[in-house]
Structure 1
Amino acid sequence: MDLRIFKDKQEVAEQFSAYFVEQTKGKEAFHVALSGGSTPKIVFDVLAEKFAGQVDWSKVHFYWGDERCVPPTDDESNYKMTVEHLFSKIEVPQENINRILGEKDPNPEAMRYANLLEIDLDRVEEVPQFDLVILGMGDDGHTASIFPHEIELWDSEDHCVVATHPESGQKRVSLNGKVINTSKEVAFLVTGASKAEKVEAVIEKTEGFEQYPASLVQPTSGNLVWFLDEEAASKLNQNPS
Structure 2
Amino acid sequence: MKGFMLQGTASDVGKSVIATAFCRIFANQGYAVTPFKSQNMSNDTFVFSNGKEIARSQWIQAEAARVSPSVYMNPIVLKPKSETTSEVILLGKKIDTYSGRDYRERVYEIGLAAIQQSLAKLQKKFNMIIVEGAGSPVEMNLNDRDLVNMKVAELADVPVFLIADIERGGVFASLVGTIELLTPTERARVKGLIINKFRGDLSLFHSGIDWIEQRLDIPVVGIIPMFQSMTIETKSSLFKSFV
> TM-score, normalising length from structure 2?
0.48
> TM-score, normalising length from structure 1?
0.49
Higher gyration radius (CA): 2
Greater per-residue strand proportion: 2
